[in-house]
Amino acid sequence: MANEPYRSLWEAVRHTEFSQGWLDARGYRTRYLHSGKASLPPLVLLHGVGGHAEAYLRNLAAHGRHFDTWAIDLIGHGWSDKPAHLYEIAHYVDHLLRFMDAKGWDRIRISGESLGGWVASRLAADHPDRVERLVLNTAGGSRAEPAVMERIKSLSMRAAADPSWDLIQARVQWLMADNKDAIDDLVACRQGIYAQPGFAEAMSNAMVLQDMAVRTRNLMQAPDYGRIQAPTLVLWTSHDPTADVTEGRRIAEMIPGAQFVVMQGCGHWPQWEDSERFDRWHVNFLLGRDLETPLS
């Protein structure tokens, strides 16, 4: 291990023009990472529960060449505002709509991982006029599995209550098929976020979706998936810790015309664990091309 080169968060963007900033999304101070030009089609990338925009740091370069790309921190997460109430899916969708309106976008391409996929699928089902293309990446919201819900809640709340290195590292490692991808820079980044004053309360508000009664009333049902009109890619992984490949396939079968693909050797963050393959499939789908088209 001592002979291995240090792996930095900034490796993937050292040759990329990008920015970090905050935008007033009609009352919610929203932190973002941005790459690309305003003349390109808008793309929004949404992280999972307990996550933050750095989930897509390795993807900014490839996507910024083709899209006006925005990875945002959802309310209660990252460095965005953390209003003092429980966060159900409608609250996240409202935040996303506020962000879109603040940017002046009628329609967007959108991709969400885990909780982000749940939010994106609800947006596409309830506001089909606002979504051009949709990617659901190991997306949540299709079922309630008590053991998984308890594991997410336990790991997350322990790390938020005591943002020590070991507890943050354990939460990050849970995302990955291989612990080598839980690099120290990523752990330190999340540790800084979790150490914010009041963050434990925000995490508790976010964890409400791991409560069975609350989760059940927020779930996407077959008729909801059936209302999605945007061309959709459902992307799953061979080692996802929340659900196996059959659940991803089931989601795809409920969405009219959806494509379904599996990334081998990845866990819950395929966009991070195998960014080259993810970028190729993801960019090509969002452009309406064959998934294996070489990226320029």
- E strands, the chain, are 18-25, 28-35, 42-46, 68-72, 108-113, 131-137, 232-237, 259-263
Average pLDDT over residues 267-287: 98
**Domain membership flag for residue 150:** no
DSSP bridge partners of 46: 72, 112
Count the neighbouring beta carbons within 10 Å of the beta carbon of residue 293. Answer: 12
**Domain membership flag for residue 174:** no
**CATH classification at residue 271:** 3.40.50.1820
**Domain membership flag for residue 72:** yes
CA distance 102 to 71: 15
Q: Among 12-16, 87-91, 163-167, which stretch is predicted with the lowest mean pLDDT?
A: 12-16
Percent pLDDT > 70 in the chain is 99
**Domain membership flag for residue 206:** no
**What is the structure's pLDDT at 296?**
84
**Domain membership flag for residue 4:** no
CA distance 227 to 220: 11
The pLDDT tens digits of the residues spanning 194-241 come to 999 999 999 999 999 999 999 999 999 999 999 999 999 999 999 999
Q: How many domains does the chain have?
A: 1
**What is the structure's pLDDT at 149?**
97
Q: Which residue has the higher pLDDT, 6 or 167?
A: 167
CA distance 260 to 137: 10
The pLDDT tens digits of the residues spanning 32-59 come to 999 999 999 999 999 999 999 999 999 9
Report the SS3 class of residue 119.
helix
**What is the structure's pLDDT at 294?**
96
Cβ atoms of 153 and 210 closer than 8 Å: yes
Cβ atoms of 202 and 159 closer than 8 Å: no
Cβ atoms of 73 and 147 closer than 8 Å: no
**Domain membership flag for residue 68:** yes
* pLDDT surpassing 70 at residue 1: no
Tokens 């070489």 found at: 294
Buried b (16+ CB within 10 A) or exposed e, 233-261: bbbbbebbbbbeeebbebbbebbeebebb
**Domain membership flag for residue 202:** no
Cβ atoms of 268 and 48 closer than 8 Å: yes
Average pLDDT over residues 155-179: 98
Residue 263's domain comprises 9-144+220-287
Average pLDDT over residues 257-280: 98
**What is the structure's pLDDT at 2?**
57
Cβ atoms of 70 and 53 closer than 8 Å: no
CA distance 261 to 249: 8
The pLDDT tens digits of the residues spanning 60-112 come to 999 999 999 999 999 999 999 999 999 999 999 999 999 999 999 999 999 99
Mean pLDDT score across all residues of the chain: 97
The C-alpha angle with vertex 189 and arms to 188 and 195, in degrees rounded to 5, equals 85
Count the neighbouring beta carbons within 10 Å of the beta carbon of residue 27. Answer: 11
**Domain membership flag for residue 252:** yes
